[in-house]
Structure 1
Amino acid sequence: MQTDTLRHALGPEALPWLLALLGLVLAAATAEGLVQTFVRRQPYDWRAYAASLADTAGRRAVDALGLSIAAPLLALAWTHRLTTLPLSTPAAFALLFLGQELCYYAYHRAAHRVRWFWATHAVHHSPNELTLAAALRLGWTGKLTGTALFFTPLVWLGFSPTAVMGTLAANLLYQFWLHAPWLPRLGPLEWVLNTPTHHKVHHASNPEYLDCNYGGVLIVFDRLFGTFVDLRADLPPRYGLTTPLHTHNPLRIAFHEWVRLAQDLHRARGLKQRVRILFGPPGAQP
């Protein structure tokens, strides 16, 4: 999960708590696999589990380099902010939460519809099983592609980068439990919250389920903007990419879509076609 973002947001004194939180997340993912294997006596892909842990370790190594193309723009937005919005009232917290949810929706939708961002996000959709361990597989190149730019408007409005990034990290932490496909529907909460049922659909590669349910904590923006798709009783989700990735090699998982993107750019003719490949939807013809 995004413990590095939280660490920078909360300061070094929070590190023991964040390590404990990461330990709980890893313990929950491991427990799920153990129950599946030894209690339910059902198949569980432990190699995919190991690949997800390797992805997490690789992302930590890349993050340690401190490279981020969005960081200077976040700093610039803070320097030229319209006002300063301290988190001193419930209304300020609510505004930041809703603003962050909207920005996350915009980012997540772009991550599926713009190939430049999909090259990183495809890593998260590469597991062919939906498990808690799959939630840990987020790719290594997010900070190098500028995904934080989607949250710059909140900083420009007056929320500190620390508050914005901390709220985003909490959003991503919430989504960990959404990757448990064995959890049932949650009744009326399904209308407002993003739930495991909605996230099953999001991770499905069935044509009927593609590109939907982009919300983080909430599902309301999907309902408002027409990207909500409910789970159908007659159509079980088929997890993974539309072209399944059958590998447990962390390097191939991290860079398989970047390699395909580079190949398509090499074959492209002219600047216009290359721009269409970079910023058009995945799978579209140049």
Structure 2
Amino acid sequence: METYGKILTIAMPAFLLLVLLEKVYGWIFKKDAFKPLDTISSLSSGYTNVVKDVLGLSVSILSYQWMVSHWTVYKVESTIWVYIIAFIALDFSGYWVHRLSHEINFFWNKHAIHHSSEEFNLGCALRQSISSFVSLFTIFLLPAALLGVEPKVIAIVAPLHLFAQFWYHTVYIGRMGFLEKIIVTPSHHRVHHAINPEYLDKNHGQIFIFWDKIFGTFQEELPNVPPVYGITRPASTWNPIKINFQHLWLLIKDAARTKSLKDKFRIWFMPTGWRPADVAERFPVNKIEDIYHFQKYAPQVSNSMLVWIWVQFFFTFSLLYHLFGNIAKIGSPNIFIYGGFIYLIVFAYTELMDKNPYALLWEALKNVVGFYIIFSTGDWFGLSQLVAWGKPALIAYLIVSMILTSYFVLVELKQENSQTQMA
């Protein structure tokens, strides 16, 4: 937990800088539109994911430690080969977990967030799940367990394997020659994120593309079929916490509504997107029928609101930096309270991005919780010991945040709604 937090204090600024540099490059040299709300939504999803991971908010039904203890048949000596085996085993496991997430209704919920952006850029790589609390697929690490690869080796290699999947989420790198046959490239991964019929559910590899070629899920990018990105049932929100549970909520409702006892059970294990016939007829959901002619989700906000959202985003970044850099000092259960507060901030400002009037209620709840923490403890998780003006800055932020969000919801959004009704 503490080690991963320290790693993220280095990795987060690097990823943020690369995401913003890619957007600036596209805007200046490729004349692509800079869509800030999509970028903020992606990066905010990354916030929620790293909080969940650092705080260890998940359990494994079958632990890797148990597998090593009981199933090792030959222990590989502790050399560079141990790390190579661990990396390949993680990639093999990643391929199957990824593939099952695309093919089975219940497991799609934890992966839909990653595909929810209707753009394809480095920010998409940071759209990661918070909805999976139980790991069911540790079994796919069996090859490493059989060879006695220690859990600490897996723990070291896993973040490197994850971070190595960041770079290929871009449209600005073309085909890469002979590397296309070995590793996952941007071209391969553009196919994976596309909703074109030719591309759906292809290229599940994470680092090595040969898994897809071995198991029959490979598809190259076709020169006459430009990828169209997103999910066929559009998320239609910038709120990453909502997106994380949209599919699950639909499954719950469909299971409750169907009259078939058989469908109530099998809906969870059917192919992704399957719905009981009686429910699909009575309760249709929005689904993209013509992938080349659909309206992307893009609510327009005022320049002043956009500036404030960026302020909220970077302020949240500073809180994350404080949390991850001081996990041991903050201690338990305070780290979980801190993480919950960060979730509240993200929920509140992304609701404002959606121009949802309820953003004001979430903002009020966030500020009440913030003031309670400050005045009940006399500080903000030890921030005053690091920065003398930390506590006053937090109080000022909460007050300004409430005032500005009230203005945007009660004045700007109301004026906009009135003008829309008059038109």
Q: 185-194 or 256-265, which moves further after superposition? A: 256-265
Cα pair distance change 1:147/1:41, threshold 3 Å: farther
Structure 2: gaps of 5 or more residues: 277-423
Q: How many residues align?
A: 275
Residue pair 2:114, 2:127 contacting (<8 A) in 1 also: yes
Residue pair 2:212, 2:218 contacting (<8 A) in 1 also: yes
TM-align CA RMSD: 2.3
User: Are positions 1:153 and 2:118 aligned together?
Assistant: no
Q: % of aligned pairs identical?
A: 32
Of 25, 40, 44, the residue aligned with 1:54 is 44
Counterpart CA distance in 2 for 1:40 and 1:198 is 21
Letter in 2 for 1:89: T
Using the TM superposition, give the Cα deviation of residue 124 of structure 1 relative to its aligned residue in structure 2, in angstroms: 0.1
Residue in 2 that maps onto 1:222: 212
Structure 1: gaps of 5 or more residues: 1-7
Q: 33-42 or 101-110, which moves further after superposition? A: 33-42
Residue in 1 that maps onto 2:361: none
Counterpart CA distance in 1 for 2:55 and 2:87 is 29
Residue pair 2:61, 2:136 contacting (<8 A) in 1 also: no
User: Are positions 1:19 and 2:9 aligned together?
Assistant: yes
Measured against aligned partners, the alpha-carbon deviations of 1:147-204 in whole angstroms (never above 9, x if no partner) come to 5524442464222223224333222211101101110111011011110000000000
Counterpart CA distance in 2 for 1:270 and 1:70 is 32
Report which of the two structures shows the higher radius of gyration computed on alpha carbons: 2
Letter in 2 for 1:149: T
Using the TM superposition, give the Cα deviation of residue 64 of structure 1 relative to its aligned residue in structure 2, in angstroms: 5.1
Residue in 1 that maps onto 2:360: none
Residue pair 1:77, 1:155 contacting (<8 A) in 2 also: no
Residue pair 2:87, 2:161 contacting (<8 A) in 1 also: no
Residue in 2 that maps onto 1:44: 34
Q: 81-90 or 236-245, which moves further after superposition? A: 81-90
Of 23, 36, 54, the residue aligned with 1:33 is 23
Cα pair distance change 1:219/1:155, threshold 3 Å: closer
Cα pair distance change 1:64/1:223, threshold 3 Å: closer
Q: 22-31 or 34-43, which moves further after superposition? A: 34-43
Residue pair 1:33, 1:44 contacting (<8 A) in 2 also: yes
Of 241, 256, 261, the residue aligned with 1:266 is 256
Residue pair 1:206, 1:238 contacting (<8 A) in 2 also: yes
Of 187, 191, 203, the residue aligned with 1:197 is 187
Give the 5 Å matches for 1:1-286.
8=1, 12=3, 16-63=6-53, 65-70=55-60, 73-83=63-73, 85=75, 88-142=78-132, 144-146=133-135, 148-154=137-143, 156-157=145-146, 158-269=148-259, 272-286=262-276
Using the TM superposition, give the Cα deviation of residue 71 of structure 1 relative to its aligned residue in structure 2, in angstroms: 6.2
Residue pair 1:96, 1:164 contacting (<8 A) in 2 also: yes
Using the TM superposition, give the Cα deviation of residue 32 of structure 1 relative to its aligned residue in structure 2, in angstroms: 1.1
Residue pair 1:130, 1:181 contacting (<8 A) in 2 also: yes
Counterpart CA distance in 1 for 2:124 and 2:17 is 14
Cα pair distance change 1:75/1:88, threshold 3 Å: closer
Residue in 2 that maps onto 1:4: none
Using the TM superposition, give the Cα deviation of residue 57 of structure 1 relative to its aligned residue in structure 2, in angstroms: 1.8
Q: Larger RCO: Structure 1 or Structure 2 (Cα < 8 Å, ≥ 6 residues apart)?
A: 1
Using the TM superposition, give the Cα deviation of residue 269 of structure 1 relative to its aligned residue in structure 2, in angstroms: 4.3
Residue pair 1:107, 1:150 contacting (<8 A) in 2 also: no
Q: What is the TM-score with the length of structure 2 in the denominator?
A: 0.60
Counterpart CA distance in 1 for 2:275 and 2:194 is 22
Letter in 2 for 1:192: I
